A and B are shown apart, each in its own frame.
Chain A
Amino acid sequence: ILNVEQSPQSLHVQEGDSTNFTCSFPSSNFYALHWYRWETAKSPKALFVMTLNGDEKKKGRISATLNTKEGYSYLYIKGSQPEDSATYLCYGGDTGRRALTFGSGTRLQVQP
């Protein structure tokens, strides 16, 4: 099982700041790359599922890009708000099995 890695592990930003995180994954045998948002006391919710190299997805102030050749994806949040505070998980990789692997997440805290 090859690892999916996320960085940074945690991030503190001020309201209004823009921020981004990275997910790196093995570039061989690529299937898909997902991003999830996990708020405290709630269950993870899907933000994006990307399958093609060069994919860019956007939902409001949040966007994501995908580079399958070099094995990374970026998640961007423009003008962070306190309600963006959550753990952001990516899911992908080549596990040699049907299910993919979650990264350990980036914990974002946005200070008002």
Chain B
Amino acid sequence: DVKVTQSSRYLVKRTGEKVFLECVQDMDHENMFWYRQDPGLGLRLIYFSYDVKMKEKGDIPEGYSVSREKKERFSLILESASTNQTSMYLCASSASPTNEKLFFGSGTQLSVL
């Protein structure tokens, strides 16, 4: 089965810090996603990548950037962390963004103090 690995399960950072969240998948999927999950708001797409160095903004890209230098790795960057970015972050990958199922990592709970 596909394995999607997120580098940290829990992370605590200070306001203004630059934060890197890493995601690695082992199934040669072209498509990778970053979501955040907040109570009552479901899963909201931050950024999506459909190929190396290719990206597309999701619903809430403000305050975030991404990097995809290699096919298996998709990084989410918080340039200057703020308290409203405290959330659960989930990475996913798939062979197709529409017709194939998404495989999710176990999530990173980020707290920004």
What residues of chain A have their CB less than 8 Å away from a CB belonging to chain B?
Answer: 1, 31-32, 34, 36, 42-46, 49, 51, 89, 91, 97-105
Contacts and interface: CB of A to CB of B under 8 A. Distances in A.
B42 A43 contact: no
B104 to A, nearest CB: 4
B101 to A, nearest CB: 4
B106 interface: yes
Interface residues of B, number: 27
A102 B43 contact: yes
B59 A1 contact: yes
Contacts of B103: 46
Candidate in A36, A43, A51, A105 with the most chain B CB atoms within 10 angstroms? A43
Contact of A89 (B43, B45, B58, B97): B43
A97 B100 contact: no
B104 A99 contact: no
Contact of A101 (B45, B56, B101, B107): B45
